[in-house]
Chains A and B, each alone.
Chain A
Amino acid sequence: MTGGAVTGESAVGNGLRVTGEKTAGARPSRLRTFDPVHVGRLEAAVWVAYYRRQWARLLVLSVLLVRHAFGMDWVRTVHGAWLVLRANMLWAPPEPHSDPAGARRCMRRFYALLRLAHGEPADPARAARLEVEWWAVHRTHQRGEDGDRQPLVDALSRLYAYVFGVDEVALWPAVEYRARAMDISDRWVKEGCQPDSPLLPAERADLVRSYAALLAAIHR
């Protein structure tokens, strides 16, 4: 879901593929039972802290976000939050100074942590590649080179579909809302990152809707 919440660019989730159907009385994986309201609000706060350069707050919020979104123990949570932060730091500089390979390495280690904790995803390297691929699509979209939101939606759908083992079509509502939240965030940044902007509640609401739609698609 939000792996790299920091720049608003990592979006994976909780997730993980659970093979086979849920049996009667069985409880779903911890990765599929996150609280979308809490996680969405946390991620919105992370985005704000990042763009307003509130680093201490960002660090605390990132740890909380990883904890609530991915359900790992505290040691793995702190390690995972660091890996996501590091991936974002490597990715953040404008081209040609960004380091996509380094970002992929960090995210591969992050997904490997998830695999250790929950047994999924099967291939952390593939998940990391899909993750950084959609970051790249988002960057293009942010620059306005591509006014169409569909490539972003497609790239994010591919990531979610792989991580959660769900058909891409079922994930479109979650992805659409997330893409909309990112567009709002980009507008907020362009308008000067005002803390009392009416864009912030709208962004937060769309992130919550996105996580609620995601939960509805993957919970089993």
Chain B
Amino acid sequence: MAGSSSRVIARIFSTYTSEYASLTWEWILRADGQVCYRLTELRDRRERNPWRPVTQISGAYLHAFITGTASAEPWLAGLAIQRGHQVDGYRDRAVGQQ
């Protein structure tokens, strides 16, 4: 699961910035359908953190993302936004939109 070595088929970055902290996370979708994210920067310093599983997708969604008939990045961005993160270029998107 979080340690899966399955191929990454989509990747985005999300952020949060306040007076005392600026944070960046990396979100990925793997070919086995697993979505994970991890903190990659804290106050402009690179960090190495474990992946955390967010959800698992399968079926038509996953097939569409793998074959490229749908773009996974906006969908990943929707997940990040749903968690309160900021994603450049995807500010108003919601999960499920593609």
Taking Cβ atoms with an 8 Å cutoff, the residues of A that contact B are: 25-28, 30, 33, 35-38, 40-41, 173-174, 208-209, 212-213, 215-216, 219
Least distance between A198 CB and chain B CB atoms (Å): 18
7 A-B residue pairings within 8 Å (CB atoms): A33-B50, A36-B21, A37-B83, A208-B18, A212-B20, A213-B18, A219-B47
Q: Could you say which residues of chain B place their CB within 8 Å of the CB of A38?
A: 83-84
Flag if B49 contacts A212 (CB, 8 Å). no
User: Is B85 interfacial (CB-CB < 8 Å)?
Assistant: yes
Taking Cβ atoms with an 8 Å cutoff, the residues of B that contact A are: 16, 18-21, 23, 25, 39, 42-43, 47-50, 52, 83-85
Top 7 A-B pairs ranked by shortest CB distance? A212-B21, A213-B20, A216-B21, A37-B84, A173-B20, A33-B49, A209-B18
Interface on chain B toward A: helix, strand, loop, or mixed SS? loop
- Bound form: Cα–Cα A36–B85 in Å: 10
Pick the residue among A27, A41, A213 that contacts B21 (CB under 8 A). A213
- Bound form: Cα–Cα A33–B51 in Å: 10
Identify the closest chain A residue to B42 (Cβ). A219
Flag if B49 contacts A27 (CB, 8 Å). yes
Identify the closest chain B residue to A71 (Cβ). B52
- Bound form: Cα–Cα A36–B49 in Å: 14
Flag if A36 contacts B16 (CB, 8 Å). yes
- With A35-B83, A37-B84, A209-B19 as known contacts, state yes or no: A215 contacts B50, CB within 8 Å: no
- With A37-B16, A38-B84, A41-B84 as known contacts, state yes or no: A212 contacts B23, CB within 8 Å: yes
Q: Could you say which residues of chain A place their CB within 8 Å of the CB of B49?
A: 27-28, 33
- Bound form: Cα–Cα A183–B86 in Å: 27
Q: Could you say which residues of chain A place their CB within 8 Å of the CB of B18?
A: 208-209, 212-213
Given contacts A36-B23, A219-B42, 16 further A-B contacts (CB under 8 A): A25-B48, A30-B50, A33-B39, A33-B49, A35-B52, A35-B83, A36-B21, A40-B84, A208-B18, A208-B84, A209-B19, A212-B18, A212-B23, A213-B19, A213-B20, A215-B42
Flag if A35 contacts B20 (CB, 8 Å). no
- Bound form: Cα–Cα A28–B18 in Å: 22
Q: Could you say which residues of chain A place their CB within 8 Å of the CB of B21?
A: 36, 212-213, 215-216
Identify the closest chain A residue to B25 (Cβ). A35
Least distance between B23 CB and chain A CB atoms (Å): 7
Q: Which of A25, A26, A219 has the most CB of B within 10 A?
A: A219
Least distance between B37 CB and chain A CB atoms (Å): 8
Flag if A216 contacts B16 (CB, 8 Å). no
Q: Could you say which residues of chain B place their CB within 8 Å of the CB of A173?
A: 19-20
Q: Could you say which residues of chain B place their CB within 8 Å of the CB of A212?
A: 16, 18, 20-21, 23
Identify the closest chain B residue to A204 (Cβ). B84
Q: Could you say which residues of chain B place their CB within 8 Å of the CB of A36?
A: 16, 21, 23
